[in-house]
Amino acid sequence: MPDLFSVLAEPSRRRILDALRESEGLLVKDLVAALGMSQPNVSKHLRVLRTAGLVSESAERQGRRYRLRAEGLRGVDAWLDPYRAFWTDRLQDLGDHLDSTRTHEGPPR
């Protein structure tokens, strides 16, 4: 399986994921039209995203439909979790500081 961050580093792949996030599922031709990319280029990126577990595909009469797989993003979420905690703590510290500053200066104008 490819490294998830290497897969996500490619801007075109992130654009495809964004398009799939906004829709229940899209055909390759829909992605081509929405993104202004060639069909072979979209298909190449979809293959990488599918191998990484970020999208699923199903065959339909009109073509292949792709959907975002939330499970595939769990690795990114797990990696971000400590950073989320870091920023939450820092924002809480900032809020506490601002609250104490307002108390000493009086009500805001």
Residues 25-72: pLDDT tens digits?
999 999 999 999 999 999 999 999 999 999 999 998 988 999 999 898
Give the pLDDT score at 67.
96
H or E, element range at 57: strand 55-60
Looking at domain 4-68, does it have CATH number 1.10.10.10?
yes
**b or e along 15-27 (b: 16 or more beta carbons within 10 Å of the residue's beta carbon)?**
bbbebbeeeeebe
Give the pLDDT score at 12.
97
The chain-wide mean pLDDT, for the chain, equals: 88
If you ran DSSP here, which 8-state letter would residue 72 be given?
G
Query: Phi, psi at residue 36, to the nearest 5°?
Result: 65, 35
Please check the confidence at residue 107 and state whether its pLDDT lies above 80: no
- Model pTM? 0.75
Please check the confidence at residue 103 and state whether its pLDDT lies above 90: no
Confidence of residue 108 (pLDDT cuts 50, 70, 90): low
Which residue type, as a one-letter code, is found at position 109?
R
Confidence of residue 84 (pLDDT cuts 50, 70, 90): confident
